[in-house]
Amino acid sequence: MKHSRNVLVLCGGKWVGMTIQLKEAMGKVELLRDGLLIVADKAEVTPAGVFADRSVTVPPISDPTYIDNLLELCVNWGIRVIVPLIDLDLERLSSHLYLFDEIGVSVVCPSEALVDLCMDKVLFRQFVLAESLPYPMTYGPDELETAAYPLFYKPTRGYGSRNTGVCKSYMEAKRLLREWPDLIFQEYLSGDEVSVDGYISVSGEPLLCVPRKRDKIVGGEAYQSHTIQSDTAYDLALQTMRALAKRGLHGPVNIQMFLTGKGPYLIEVNTRLGSASVLSNVATHGKLFEYVLEEACGIPCTGEPYSYVRDLALYRFLGDLFYKGPNIVKVVPLTKDENSGKSCLV
């Protein structure tokens, strides 16, 4: 089955809210209005796949055939836009963007150099120092003996909250380095952890800038969050987006920072839609996801980055999916079909 207006979401998995809101955004984009929202995942059955128009199974990202499978899928399903949701996909796709461009598919993913810049903490530190952005004091292995503890440690290149934590002494730092040699150590910051969901247009202008406090975090993901009024966070996020735009970045960004008594500190930047960006999308009346899809279709956008709803809160909750083999038995909460009186049971 082919359709010229379809959108493919990679590793949709459990992100039902993201799937539903992206489908709503498609209805606002002329070139995608009648298209299908398709979720791809290595699992045959996923919660997001149940709420999408279609779901397809693909190999794991690490599989040598992953890119070829995606290219074939794009041709067979008439995909126009691919939306990756996790860092591993950005790493894998960024060096193959030209292959998708050749078949008329736009991938919401920066160049390989920009993906590396934001994912490699050594390269990212060089970037923030060159741009005079506030950043935590970082210690090399030869500086740890005289460092002021506690320190926060994390991998030079990592995802979520894996292999991160607080180090309380030089002896502990040496032990950690023996176990994970690629760790970096930074001053331990105390303050509000804030994420800013933004969008940089193809012309290099920040179109959206929505600061939100991460109230509850599970495995690196915000499960409770609320939008805030913070000129400090807003100004640092705009400065960061403009600095990245000078290097050619455009598209969605998630900027993480700490607001402390000493001022704001930039922590990291994700060059993709964060899982809790559904809050910022609602706070901007759907503009965030609409901009992502419109510019992926070649439609230039303009916007006012300061326009969003303050004090809007998100509380993510668990649902349940029951299935036997490939067959869906029951979904709680109800799917769209069940709510309209149509059974999704097979």
Mean pLDDT, rounded, for 124-152:
95
- Tell me, which fold does domain 115-119+191-315 have in CATH? D-amino Acid Aminotransferase; Chain A, domain 1 (3.30.470)
Lowest mean pLDDT among 61-70, 142-151, 336-345: 336-345
279-295 pLDDT tens trace: 999 999 999 999 999 99
| Mean of pLDDT over the chain | 93
Position 2 scores a pLDDT of: 52
Residue whose token pair is 């969901």: 197
May I ask the CATH class of domain 137-187?
Answer: alpha beta
Q: What is the structure's pLDDT at 65?
A: 98
72 or 161: whose pLDDT is higher? 72
Domain ranges for the chain, please list them.
6-109, 115-119+191-315, 137-187
Residue 33 has pLDDT above 80, yes or no: yes
Residue 140 confidence (pLDDT):
86
Query: Residue 245 pairs with which residues in a beta bridge?
Result: none
pLDDT of residue 345: 36
CATH topology of domain 6-109: Rossmann fold (3.40.50)
Do 137-187 and 115-119+191-315 have the same topology in CATH?
no
pTM score: 0.92
Mean pLDDT calculated for residue range 4-11: 94
* Mean pLDDT (whole number) for 310-319: 94
Query: For 204-247, what is each residue's pLDDT tens digit?
Result: 999 999 999 999 988 778 899 999 999 999 999 999 999 999 99
* Residues 227, 283: Cα–Cα separation, whole Å: 8
Mean of pLDDT values over 311-336: 89
**Alpha carbon distance 66, 41 (integer Å):** 11
The per-residue pLDDT for range 96-118, each reduced to its tens digit, is 999 999 999 999 999 999 999 99
Cβ-contact 92, 19 below 8 angstroms: no
Residue 93 has pLDDT above 60, yes or no: yes
